[in-house]
Chains A and B, each alone.
Chain A
Amino acid sequence: MISTSSGAINKSKLISRRMFIISAAKAVILAGIFGRLVSLQINESKKYMTLADKNRFREWRLAPKRGIIRDYFNKEIASNKKVYQLHITPENTSNIEILFFRLKKILNLSDRKIATLKKKISKQKPWEPIIVSENLTWSEFSRVNLFLHELQGVEPLVSVARLYSHQSTSHVVGYVSQVSAKELRDKEYLREMSVTGIAVGKTGLESKLDKNIIGEVGFQRYEVNAYGKRIRQIKLDEGKAGKSFKTTIDLEVQNFTSSLLTKVSGAICVMDIYNGDIISMVSSPTYDPNAFVHGIDQKSWNHLLKHRDKPLINKAIAGLYPPGSTIKTLVALSALENDVVNPNLTVNCKGSIELYGEKFHCWEKKGHGFMNMRSAIKRSCDVYFYEIARRLGVDRLSVTAKKFGLGEKVLEGFKEERSGVVPNTTWKKKYIGANWYLGETLHSGIGQGYFQSTPIQLCRMTAQLANGGYEIKPRVLLDFDNDRNKLKEYIKHRNEHPEDPLPIDLLISNFNINPLFKNQENINFVKDAMFASTNEAGGTSYRSRLTDKNFIFAGKTGSSQVKRFTIEQREKEVKQDDLKYEDRDHALFIAFAPYDKPKYAISVIIEHGGSGSRAAAPIAKKVIKKVLERDNLRELQTNEIGKEI
């Protein structure tokens, strides 16, 4: 008993001793835990607070409102409209199948659309909303609202989207559409905005102005849970609407010129010859830019791409056409300026001429007979200009043509604009890799061969002839801060001080204008010849003249060959109308008006229109009348704008 009890006591001591060892270990472990708490919650707490905030806050970027583009008279060309959208949050629906079934009845959704939506839903998180329709009509929207109580998870909402109210401005203004991966890669301002699916300018002014017109991005900061679901909004910054812009376009004229081209493919440009303001610039056929705002469907896109007349191309700045006979104005000017010939040089046109073993035809098979320079321009005699070109040479011609703006881009920042070609011997060597043939000089003399120009270039060329031979910088946007066209001020100065003609370098430094002539008489000669072409019997555009003395204009026709006539066709006297559409000549016409006090220049191109005098000049006549009728209004508006500044 005693041994047992003493054993028990020993045992009890043993237990206590061992417990003591354990307790010591416990103290060490507790100290470890305490140390860890100190380290996490005191020493490193800042770091973990930052990490916790990174977990809980998520920012959503808000696309800002784009600035508005207006015409000269403050009419809105590109604006913003309310759009009615329909979003679905799959998480909030009880049965997505039934919901789509109902929506299909209410909205006329196609099965294909529903299939793509379902595919999209399966790829994203259930609380992420999906856009069923970006642009509902008012009646659809109200129907959805009417049945909203049985459409669980559907969210009808009002948003803002681009609106283009006139299809006549489609090409000059361009359109917006969802940003592409390439644009994000190339443009820093878009990367910085980082708004998914933001609408950006793709062509025209929308593209040129994109950086300034797009506005400043806003954001919403939300607290989100671990699954990314928004719990509550912490902060909202709506951003800033983009800058609005005013153009030089007269929407009334623009709509009118556009309407003249509804049945044909072509382009019209109208320009103020002093300040370069583009009053109208249309391309036909046009397209609906609104179709791109919410993403164009594949069928319409293919239709636009494969259309024979290429509606998406802005033919006024990106359509390349041989200038044809319209170049004769510059050929004549170049020859006179270089003192190669004098205007009294007479050439006998027999309908064709043989040079360098090749036969060169005049468009008038019978021949024009004896021609001097004025009558050759008036009647557009090819043989006369073969002779002039032969004497002038292509290199001197190209210098004059380039001076007047051919072969270079006219506008700034229109990425779709093309520069065309002014050929000469070095150009051919460089780009074609062959020597220049003398025969090619003759083709160049009547604006055929390698010559390529855009309607806007021809319009500028005409304007620079009409204003007395001074360089202008055409523009679509009113730029109050940076007006480089001081031509009007110069003319005012000259009228006030007729006795003090400024030398060229003073012109440039005082008025920032650059005369393109050596002798202004030569410019006046060309202008007079153009007058003859339109207003004297026998002129190529005589039939399209305006007789009202305020509307008298001077022009020059042109027809540019698309396909060379074969000898057979020439002998059979095949008419343009008998040719296949694609083989017919392009019809061109350039003009300025009014003749005595020139103010506007115009160029018209009708693709495959046959001849300039029949297809292009009659259209130009209507445009000139319209533009001159609105001249007073424009003057008033210019004064108004002057007051604004």
Chain B
Amino acid sequence: MFTSRSIQSSLSFKEKIYSIDYILLCSILILGVISMFAMYSTAGGTFDYHTKSHILRFIVFFFLFFVISFFDLKFWYRSSIFLYIIFFLLLLGVKYFGLTSSGSQRWINLYVINLQPSELMKVGLIIFLAKYYHRMPTNDVNKLKYLFLPIVVLVAPVLLVITQPDLGTAVLIAAGGVVVSWLAGVRIKFFAYASILFISLAPIAISFLKPYQKARILTFLNPDRDPLGAGYQIIQSKIAIGSGGFFGKGYLNGSQSYLDFLPEKHTDFIFTLFSEEFGFFGSVSILLLYFLIISRIIRIGHLTRSNFGKLFCYGFGTAFFIYVVVNMGMVLGLLPIVGAPLPIMSYGGSSMMAIMLGLGITMSCKIYKDVPVN
């Protein structure tokens, strides 16, 4: 106890620098560089707007990540509710002032950037619940009165996002919240109740789904149902990945992508493009890189002393895993197309910002691992 206090007060800059997880840092950097090359390939080997913008964003948000790593974990503990509220207000703002693009209202114009608050909410909900469960005695966790708030903070943003409509992000937000609650000790029976409730409500929910969302689910169940329509993306993505073979078609030689057979190649299907050009070898390398990043996040959670830090790192690490798995599962034809970006690789400022924010807080957990938060 004493030593930890003395460390807290006397943590020098040099010590902070030393305690950075360099493996995590390098993995992120390598993935960032790979993503830049992949983005360059989406434009068929020209230096277009997407590539420039992606590189700029990576640099800016990597710098942000680096800076917030040095924020005291206490700061994050204290401001977690505030962060959640800010993100929630932005989400409400989208509802009323949001920008509509291709049929859904997801963005809010902040003059500097068009922000997608639902992406930030992925991290916001995790940090909020990490704080909420930090001090709560294990016995209280499963008391109904203490379950009330987590349910509200989880369901409210999820409903807002679903109505944008953006089913994919809503599912990913909910997944983060559920994971943190589970880690904090919420009994399985509550999840079972929630599942039963969800399943019984599903038919009603389905009636609220947009036709294209229904089509996507049906298409997932049978991609050949409508090969030129809703099934097109899955089929073309599988063709691209499969035709890559073991070593791929070579950089800038992915015919499926440069001839535009591949849809959304710079966002949700960036892994497909990479896979086509670098084959099985490349796909497994990317998979390993993500595995490394996730395991470093989990390791930091293990090292961190505070429950807040543990809950956040475990929660965020697991959520990160889910993001990767949902995206890959989607492009590999294992999951329906729901619109989930691949962290760091996919084009998209808000997603990048949220991921870097989460990674920054994780790194802060590493630097201040021995510091109690309250």
The listed residue (A15, A22, A227) touching B311 by CB distance below 8 A is A15
Give A41 to B301 CA distance when docked, in angstroms.
Answer: 35
Q: Provided the pairs A52-B256, A231-B259 are in contact, do residues A30 and B243 lie with their beta carbons within 8 angstroms?
A: no
| Interface status of A95 (Cβ within 8 A of chain B) | no
Distance (whole angstroms) from the CB of B286 to the closest CB of chain A: 10
B279 (CB) vs chain A CBs: closest residue: A41
Chain B contacts with A in 230-276, Cβ cutoff 8 A: 236, 238-246, 255-256, 259-261, 275
| Interface status of B328 (Cβ within 8 A of chain A) | yes
| Interface status of B368 (Cβ within 8 A of chain A) | no
B255 (CB) vs chain A CBs: closest residue: A56
Distance (whole angstroms) from the CB of B164 to the closest CB of chain A: 27
Of A8, A19, A32, A38, most buried by chain B (CB within 10 Å of CB) is: A19
| Interface status of B128 (Cβ within 8 A of chain A) | no
Contact B332 A11 (CB under 8 A): no
Contact B280 A225 (CB under 8 A): no
Main secondary structure of the interface of B (DSSP, over half): helix
Main secondary structure of the interface of A (DSSP, over half): helix
| Interface status of A142 (Cβ within 8 A of chain B) | no
A27 (CB) vs chain B CBs: closest residue: B291
B179 (CB) vs chain A CBs: closest residue: A22
| Interface status of B323 (Cβ within 8 A of chain A) | no
The listed residue (B179, B236, B259, B325) touching A224 by CB distance below 8 A is B259
Q: Provided the pairs A33-B328, A34-B287 are in contact, do residues A40 and B242 lie with their beta carbons within 8 angstroms?
A: yes
Contact A49 B310 (CB under 8 A): no
Distance (whole angstroms) from the CB of B184 to the closest CB of chain A: 7
Q: Provided the pairs A11-B185, A34-B284 are in contact, do residues A16 and B332 lie with their beta carbons within 8 angstroms?
A: no
| Interface status of A10 (Cβ within 8 A of chain B) | yes
A19 (CB) vs chain B CBs: closest residue: B314
Contact B310 A41 (CB under 8 A): no
Contact A45 B242 (CB under 8 A): yes
Distance (whole angstroms) from the CB of A619 to the closest CB of chain B: 67
Distance (whole angstroms) from the CB of A359 to the closest CB of chain B: 81
The listed residue (A14, A16, A40, A55) touching B241 by CB distance below 8 A is A40
| Interface status of B203 (Cβ within 8 A of chain A) | no
Q: Provided the pairs A30-B287, A41-B245 are in contact, do residues A51 and B239 lie with their beta carbons within 8 angstroms?
A: yes
Residues 11-27 of chain A, each 1 if its beta carbon lies under 8 Å from chain B, else 0: 11011101100110010
Report the contact-size class of chain B (Cβ under 8 Å from the partner). Answer: 35 or more
Contact B280 A38 (CB under 8 A): yes
Contact B138 A14 (CB under 8 A): yes
| Interface status of A7 (Cβ within 8 A of chain B) | yes
Enumerate chain A residues within 8 angstroms of B138, measured Cβ to Cβ. 7, 10-11, 14
The listed residue (B244, B325, B328) touching A45 by CB distance below 8 A is B244
Contact A45 B243 (CB under 8 A): yes
Give A15 to B302 CA distance when docked, in angstroms.
Answer: 10
Give A16 to B329 CA distance when docked, in angstroms.
Answer: 27
Distance (whole angstroms) from the CB of B180 to the closest CB of chain A: 10
Enumerate chain B residues within 8 angstroms of A55, measured Cβ to Cβ. 236, 239, 255-256, 259, 261
| Interface status of A565 (Cβ within 8 A of chain B) | no
Q: How many residues on chain A are close to B (CB under 8 Å)?
A: 39
Contact B244 A33 (CB under 8 A): no
Contact A45 B334 (CB under 8 A): no
| Interface status of B363 (Cβ within 8 A of chain A) | no
A22 (CB) vs chain B CBs: closest residue: B318
Residues 175-197 of chain B, each 1 if its beta carbon lies under 8 Å from chain A, else 0: 00001001111000000000000
Q: Provided the pairs A23-B298, A224-B259 are in contact, do residues A45 and B240 lie with their beta carbons within 8 angstroms?
A: no
Give A11 to B298 CA distance when docked, in angstroms.
Answer: 17
| Interface status of A488 (Cβ within 8 A of chain B) | no
Contact B291 A30 (CB under 8 A): yes
Residues 589-605 of chain A, each 1 if its beta carbon lies under 8 Å from chain B, else 0: 00000000000000000
Enumerate chain A residues within 8 angstroms of B240, measured Cβ to Cβ. 48, 52
Contact A49 B283 (CB under 8 A): no
Distance (whole angstroms) from the CB of B283 to the closest CB of chain A: 5
Q: Provided the pairs A36-B334, A45-B244, A55-B239 are in contact, do residues A18 and B259 lie with their beta carbons within 8 angstroms?
A: no
| Interface status of B321 (Cβ within 8 A of chain A) | yes
Enumerate chain A residues within 8 angstroms of B184, measured Cβ to Cβ. 15
Distance (whole angstroms) from the CB of A20 to the closest CB of chain B: 10
Give A41 to B274 CA distance when docked, in angstroms.
Answer: 13
Contact B239 A37 (CB under 8 A): no
Contact B245 A49 (CB under 8 A): yes
Chain A contacts with B in 93-141, Cβ cutoff 8 A: none
Contact B260 A227 (CB under 8 A): yes
Of A37, A47, A49, most buried by chain B (CB within 10 Å of CB) is: A37
| Interface status of B137 (Cβ within 8 A of chain A) | yes
| Interface status of A491 (Cβ within 8 A of chain B) | no
Residues 327-348 of chain B, each 1 if its beta carbon lies under 8 Å from chain A, else 0: 0110011100000000000000
Contact A41 B291 (CB under 8 A): no
Give A227 to B283 CA distance when docked, in angstroms.
Answer: 28
B235 (CB) vs chain A CBs: closest residue: A51
Contact A33 B329 (CB under 8 A): yes
The listed residue (B242, B261, B307, B311) touching A226 by CB distance below 8 A is B261
Enumerate chain A residues within 8 angstroms of B242, measured Cβ to Cβ. 40-41, 44-45, 47-49, 51
Contact A52 B255 (CB under 8 A): yes
Distance (whole angstroms) from the CB of A17 to the closest CB of chain B: 9
Contact B239 A41 (CB under 8 A): no
Distance (whole angstroms) from the CB of A561 to the closest CB of chain B: 68
Enumerate chain A residues within 8 angstroms of B261, measured Cβ to Cβ. 52, 55-56, 225-226
| Interface status of A355 (Cβ within 8 A of chain B) | no
Distance (whole angstroms) from the CB of B99 to the closest CB of chain A: 28
| Interface status of A29 (Cβ within 8 A of chain B) | yes
Enumerate chain B residues within 8 angstroms of A32, measured Cβ to Cβ. 334
Of A22, A23, A51, A52, most buried by chain B (CB within 10 Å of CB) is: A52
| Interface status of A223 (Cβ within 8 A of chain B) | yes
Q: Provided the pairs A22-B318, A41-B283, A45-B243 are in contact, do residues A12 and B307 lie with their beta carbons within 8 angstroms?
A: yes
Give A18 to B180 CA distance when docked, in angstroms.
Answer: 10
Contact A18 B287 (CB under 8 A): no
Distance (whole angstroms) from the CB of B371 to the closest CB of chain A: 14
B276 (CB) vs chain A CBs: closest residue: A52
Distance (whole angstroms) from the CB of A232 to the closest CB of chain B: 10
Contact A33 B183 (CB under 8 A): no
Where the two chains meet, the residues of B that have a C-beta atom closer than 8 Å to any C-beta of A are 137-138, 179, 182-185, 236, 238-246, 255-256, 259-261, 275, 279-280, 283-284, 287, 291, 294, 298, 301-302, 307, 310-311, 314, 318, 321, 325, 328-329, 332-334
- Can you list 16 residue pairs at the A/B interface with Cβ under 8 Å? A14-B185, A15-B311, A19-B310, A30-B291, A33-B325, A37-B275, A37-B280, A40-B332, A41-B275, A42-B280, A47-B242, A48-B238, A48-B241, A52-B239, A56-B261, A225-B260
If A19-B301, A33-B287, A34-B287 are given as contacts, then 10 extra A-B residue pairs at C-beta distance below 8 Å, sorted by A number, are A12-B307, A16-B302, A26-B318, A36-B332, A37-B283, A37-B287, A51-B242, A55-B239, A55-B259, A231-B259
The 6 tightest CB contacts between A and B, nearest first, are A48-B242, A52-B243, A41-B280, A226-B260, A225-B259, A45-B245
